[in-house]
Each structure stands twice: as structure tokens, then as C-alpha cells.
Amino acid sequence: MAWMVGLHGSLIKFILFYQSASTFGAVLDMVTDRVSTACLLALLSQCYRPGLVFLMLLGLDITSHWFQMYSSFLSGKTSHKDVKNTGNWLLKVYYEYRPFMAFCCVSCEVLYIILFLFADEKSTSLLSACRGVLKQGPLTVLVFISTLVGWAVKQVTNIIQMKTAADTCVEFDPKRSK
């Protein structure tokens, strides 16, 4: 059931990626992403030990996107994906090259679905599950490694996004008090 929520979120994301021309579409896109990711990460936190790892990933995901939305609002931008004035090259590539962003976002959810499917009651170790995936056929291993790369890039991007957006919020405070 949970993997269906993740897959549903990925499909909605794919459709809205290229169709979100309105503010409502952009917000709906982000909300469906956060909800599907939250469901998958909450479920994985119960399947593996330490589950705190998955809850920390959830916190990073929600916090970085909230900061990005809020800093965009403070800056008067029409979209949270407007990072033209950002000095970070990865953030620019992530938001300006949509196929790259789609790869990272979909990889993240597909990786979580794979981890859910390979969760074993006998072993709650994440490393054991990853070793089990790597013992599968070449196609499964290729998908797993590809999604792992996309997931890692998305996590690094989330950290950069959170830092950059927090800096924007901090810069806004002195301007507001004058």
C-alpha cells in the first residue's frame, strides 16, 4: 500500500512537472511530493533500524522545502524554483534543468519503494537489505545504483537549498526592521 502512495506521488510529480503553470499547481506539486515522501519515510522508519535515519531525512526534506518557499515569498519571487540569483551551481542546475530535477526526485521515491520491497522481517539492517538488492539481477542492481545516485544528489541539494534559503531569510530581517 505504501509503495502505491509513493508511486502515485511520483506519477503526479511527473505530470505536474511540466504542467504546473499556476501557483496552485506548484503548491499541489510540492504538497503531493512531501506527503508521498513522508508516507514512505515513516513506513521505512518502522522497517529498519535505526529508524531515526529515515525520520531525519523526512525532517530535511520538509525543512529545506519550507525554507525555500518562505524565502521565495520574502524575496517577492513568483516561484520557489527561481534560483537565478543563487551562487550555488548545483542548485541552479537542479531547478533550471527539469529532466535532472525529475531524475533526482523520482530516484528518491523509487529508492524508498525498493527499500520497502526488500525489507525483511529477519533482518532490520539497512545495510543487509542493500546487500540483498545487490545480489539481484543486473537490471535491479542498475536501477538501485541509479536511484541511489539520484537520491544522494537530492539530499545534497536539500542541504544547499536549506542553507541558501535560511541565509535569504536572515538577510531579510534587518531590511524589515528598518
Give per-residue pLDDT as tens, 78-104: 666 767 777 788 988 998 888 999 999
Q: How confident is the model at residue 162 (pLDDT cuts 50, 70, 90)?
A: very high
More confident residue, 115 or 176: 115
Of the listed ranges 5-14, 62-71, 167-176, the one predicted with least confidence: 5-14
Task: Examine the pLDDT at 15 and tell me if it is beyond 90.
Answer: no
The mean pLDDT of 61-65, rounded to a whole number, is 92
Task: With a cut of 80, say whether residue 135 has pLDDT above it.
Answer: yes
How far apart, in whole angstroms, are the C-alpha atoms of residue 51 and residue 124?
10
- Can you spell out the DSSP letters for 78-142? S-TT--TT---HHHHHHHH-HHHHHHHHHHHHHHHHHHHHT--SS--BHHHHHHHHHTS-HHHHH
Whether the predicted model's global pTM rises above the 0.75 cut:
yes
Q: Which one of 29, 33, 61, 167 is the catalytic residue?
A: 33
Mean pLDDT, the chain, whole residue set: 83
Range of the domain at 17: 2-177
pLDDT at 6: 53
Number of domains comprising the chain: 1
**pLDDT tops 80 at residue 128:** yes
- pLDDT given at position 115: 93
111 has a pLDDT exceeding 90: yes
Residue 167 is among the residues annotated as catalytic for this protein: no
